[in-house]
């Protein structure tokens, strides 16, 4: 079990790195839906903003978690040549 968790955290798919952003976005979308259903303007707007911020956080975390490591390895390979 420990090896499975370690491989999930160290894999290049980046699911673990971007999970907090997905949770933030999901909470915002739920707030947006509840606000729209109950005709509450402030909750709808707040949910939309939180959903957008969660999406941006997901993209930044994905970029930091995956792309930086890939580019670092590519730079190391180019220096060897």
List, for residues 37-70, the tens digit of each pLDDT value: 999 999 999 999 999 999 998 888 878 877 777 7
> What does the pLDDT read at residue 15?
59
> What does the pLDDT read at residue 4?
74
Looking at the whole model, is its pTM more than 0.85? no
Q: Which two tokens stand for residue 74?
A: 């590519």
- The structural domains of the chain, with segments of one domain joined by +, span 18-80
């Amino acid at each position: 079990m420990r090896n499975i968790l370690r491989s999930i955290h160290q894999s290049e798919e980046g699911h673990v790195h971007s999970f907090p952003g997905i949770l933030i976005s999901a909470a915002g979308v739920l707030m947006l839906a509840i606000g729209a259903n109950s005709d509450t303007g402030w909750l709808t707007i707040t949910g939309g903003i939180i959903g957008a911020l969660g999406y941006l956080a997901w993209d930044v975390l994905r970029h930091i978690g995956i792309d930086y490591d890939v580019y670092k390895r590519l730079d190391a390979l180019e220096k060897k040549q």
